Chain A
Amino acid sequence: MGASRALDLERFLEARGLAKKPGGDLLSGLGARLCRASELPSPASGRAVRPTAIRPLDRLLSGGLPEGSLVELSGRRSSGRFSLGLAALAAATFAGQAAALVDLGDHFDPQAAEAAGADLRCLLWARPRRVREALAASEMLIAAGFSLVVADLGLAPRARFLPDAVWMRLARAAQAQGASLLLSTPWRSSGIAADAVVSAGARPVWRGGGAAPRLLAGLDLRLTLEKFGRVTPRRAESMSLSVPEAVGSQLSAFSQEKPSKSALVRLMADS
């Protein structure tokens, strides 16, 4: 039984007076009130947000990455999470903010980041070799005052189990500095420390075939909000990512919206 089903059952029983919380009478006599954790205001709610310029992700996170919070983005290989991290960095550096990328695995491509619109002068690139180095570097960068730190833990980090205290420490550092820490992991790692958890899944999109040459057009992504504050909204958004080199990539880049006539004319002129 999922957590939401259990809560529904509990509410149903309470409404009919069939279940009482232990200690409820004792505490209510003193003017106190018992409530569920999910009913408390979310730590991430009410904070200023830092837009990632990826509209589906911003919609899921109610506007963008909350300041002073840890957001975990998890997904297996080719789920598009690396592209989303670059997009967040591009949005922050374009706005003139200093941002940092902790790149476990040395996967960063400056050319791709520049194509995504990043101002590389505002970007600090740290290339740790181990998970512990990556986490230590992330904490240092948050403490230095970087407004956005993207910690990418690579394809499959070879690390033993990390205790929750490690992630809590990172979350507290981000909260203290008002920084946004975007943690990109192949599987859920940060436990209860993350203020928001988004999982990404993707399906490749191919074009052509048969007599026509086959081309990779991009990825169709499905982003699911697994956790936001203390609730599990399970909201989902879909989006597309396009391969820059693919013919017609400009058209796919407009996939979030209906392409304008001028964009189509420009595309036809380019091709």
Chain B
Amino acid sequence: MIRSRLACVFVPLFPLAARLRSEPDLKGEAVVVVEGNGNAARVLTASRKARLSGIEAGMTLPQARALLPRLAARGRDAESERAAQEALLEIADGFSPRVEDGGDGVVYLDIEGIPALSKVRARDVAPATLLPVIPRSPRRGIPSLPAEDATPPAQGLPSSGSLAIARDDGGEGSERRLGCDLIAAVEKAGLPARAGIASSKLAARVAAGLPDSPRVVPPQEEAQFLAPLPLSRLCPEIEIAATLERWGIRSIGDFARLPPGEVESRLGTLGRQFHAAARGVDPRPLEPRLPALALSEGMDLEWPLVALEPFLFVGNAALERLARRLEALGLAGRRLELTLKLDPDGCDTRAISLPAPTRDVKTLRTLVRLELEARPPGAPVVGFVFAAHPDKPRRAQLSLFGPPALSPDRLATTIARLASLLGADRVSSPRAADGHRPERFAAAGFEPPAPPELARAPRAGRGLLAVRVLRPPVEVEVMTSPRPLPVTGEDRGEGAFPLRLLSIQSAPGTDPAISGAVRVAAGPWSMEEGWWSGTPAARDYWDVELSEGGLYRIYRDRAGGAWFADGVYD
């Protein structure tokens, strides 16, 4: 049987740790990471100082602020977490070639036979014979090393990790030293970490979650290690946890002692799997992530090329080779990098991001052509290298009864051509944005969902009148009544007063031109937004119908008093 040993590195309170890695000034402060907006935001994780003040996960932000008014609150930052996870994986890659991404601050490493472990063992073997045998804890099955943190080892003697080696315990000491090295490396990257080493992923993960870290579980002793721990360490389903609570079962060992058949008959398949986990049985293998591949093809030219067509002719062959290699791997290019060697020296590197992974040579060649046409290199080309960053290809599933899906390759080419024609920021998929300013919008990359399997019947239109938004708003001159009408009814707010609008005229040369006498006007309606920000908006809106027939939405900027038209009802 092949013996495998796995290490698990775990970053506790990962969202907070990732945030503090991005904002180190907040370390030592009372900080919470919240999820949600406004008063509905809930505390996800809290720093130690905040927890000491009574703040717990799940509280709303106002509740937390009531306990600690000077609490620093930060929203969950997906980008910080992604970067922290990436850093964690890079560190793990430095220790082992087989690393699994466990997500959210968890990384598994296969440490069997890795050079770092061998080095530690070799370093520790020499003084082994001089040292006494350390009694093993009968319950947990791990060496008792209480003095490690309290008293440093004597000069000339190995550390406590070496003590385990001294009694020939199968390498637990060296594994512990490896765990210390892992923790030190992760902490150097700005993240707090714990480590656990065991023969299964489950035991390693549980060991990493314990406070005294690193924790080493000797081989074949997973069940003994897990037995005294509370059941919550295995994170059971809520229903199963409630059932076991009623049965009076508190620890993992209590649960593991139940007959497996009886457990399955009462708790079902999920209960059987959970019971196996309690007995330390975890059949899940390590699933190492694929290293970031970059396939490259290129050539040095015998003569400098100054025109685009000859370059594309020779470049096409390289792209075809690249596409064949990608096809052999079952992958497609998500990003294409082009490096041009220039005459007499220097190089020009550019990256082409593809909206969808593709290995279609025609698409790639078109994108290269568009890129080089948009930004030609400044000198003759004497060599080139295409590097493709692969990804899994996106497949278009044809539907018998639903609407047809777009071809990912054609879509990628079209979006790239549109970006070249209009500008990358002018081709997108729109998204609704929060706020009240009519001109607001958000944009995202166009990645349409898979079409429905069955064609949906169209629903009746809602018959809503839309507004053409004028971006930017058109400044207009508005003639108003010289005598404001008396205010009647309820107070309409500061700065809002009834006006009689007579005519509107935009400045000559503006697009669109707006001019005419006001036939009907309705308003004002106040809009205030962003008073807390550097770009506040305080406007009074009117709907006006002009004599030329247009129906406009205009506003008066309260700050400057200027008038603008920001929409046409159409």
Q: Chain B nearest CB: distance from A156 CB in Å?
A: 6
CB within 8 Å of A: which B455-475 residues: 455-471
In the complex with contacts A78-B550, A124-B446, A145-B406 CB distance below 8 A:
yes
Number of interface residues, chain B, beta carbon within 8 A: 66
Q: Which residues of B contact A262 (CB under 8 A)?
A: none
Q: Mark A243-255, 1 if CB is under 8 A from B, else 0.
A: 1100001001101
Give the docked Cα–Cα distance between A8 and B512 (Å): 43
Q: Which residues of A contact B410 (CB under 8 A)?
A: 143-145
Q: Chain A nearest CB: distance from B510 CB in Å?
A: 11
Q: Does A180 lie at the interface of the complex (its beta carbon under 8 Å from any beta carbon of B)?
A: no
| Interface residue stretch chosen among A94-102, A160-168, A222-230 | A94-102
Q: Does B570 lie at the interface of the complex (its beta carbon under 8 Å from any beta carbon of A)?
A: yes
Q: Does B482 lie at the interface of the complex (its beta carbon under 8 Å from any beta carbon of A)?
A: no
B422 contacts A126, C-beta separation under 8 Å: yes
8 Å CB contact of A242 from B404, B443, B458, B463: B463
Q: Does A51 lie at the interface of the complex (its beta carbon under 8 Å from any beta carbon of B)?
A: yes
Give the docked Cα–Cα distance between A129 and B438 (Å): 21
Q: Does B407 lie at the interface of the complex (its beta carbon under 8 Å from any beta carbon of A)?
A: yes
| Interface residue stretch chosen among A16-24, A28-36, A39-47, A213-221 | A213-221
In the complex with contacts A82-B466, A110-B433, A216-B551, A127-B422 CB distance below 8 A:
yes
Q: Which residues of A contact B549 (CB under 8 A)?
A: 76-78
CB within 8 Å of B: which A191-234 residues: 204, 206, 208, 213-216, 218-219
CB within 8 Å of B: which A134-155 residues: 136-137, 140-141, 143-147, 154-155
Give the docked Cα–Cα distance between A176 and B264 (Å): 62
B449 contacts A122, C-beta separation under 8 Å: yes
CB within 8 Å of A: which B431-461 residues: 431-433, 438, 440-443, 446-449, 451-452, 455-461
Q: Does A111 lie at the interface of the complex (its beta carbon under 8 Å from any beta carbon of B)?
A: yes
Give the docked Cα–Cα distance between A121 and B445 (Å): 9
Q: Does B403 lie at the interface of the complex (its beta carbon under 8 Å from any beta carbon of A)?
A: yes
A241 contacts B432, C-beta separation under 8 Å: no
Q: Which residues of A contact B451 (CB under 8 A)?
A: 96-98
Q: Does A54 lie at the interface of the complex (its beta carbon under 8 Å from any beta carbon of B)?
A: yes
8 Å CB contact of A78 from B442, B463, B551: B551
In the complex with contacts A78-B568, A147-B403, A204-B551, A94-B520 CB distance below 8 A:
no
Q: Classify the interface of chain A: helix, strand, loop or mixed.
A: mixed
How many contacts between A and B, using CB within 8 angstroms?
218
A83 contacts B464, C-beta separation under 8 Å: yes
B461 contacts A91, C-beta separation under 8 Å: yes
Q: Which residues of B contact A131 (CB under 8 A)?
A: none
8 Å CB contact of A123 from B405, B429, B440, B464: B429
Give the docked Cα–Cα distance between A180 and B313 (Å): 37
Q: Chain B nearest CB: distance from A83 CB in Å?
A: 4
Give the docked Cα–Cα distance between A55 and B463 (Å): 10
In the complex with contacts A82-B466, A116-B466, A144-B406 CB distance below 8 A:
yes
Task: Name 13 extra pairs, CB < 8 A, besides A55-B460, A116-B464, A244-B465.
Answer: A91-B458, A94-B459, A96-B403, A106-B469, A108-B441, A111-B433, A111-B441, A120-B432, A137-B422, A155-B468, A156-B513, A206-B520, A219-B551
A-B contact pairs, 26 of them (CB 8 A): A55-B460, A82-B468, A95-B455, A106-B469, A107-B468, A107-B568, A108-B430, A108-B469, A109-B467, A110-B431, A110-B433, A113-B466, A117-B462, A120-B429, A123-B430, A124-B429, A125-B443, A126-B418, A126-B422, A128-B422, A147-B404, A204-B551, A214-B520, A216-B543, A219-B551, A244-B464
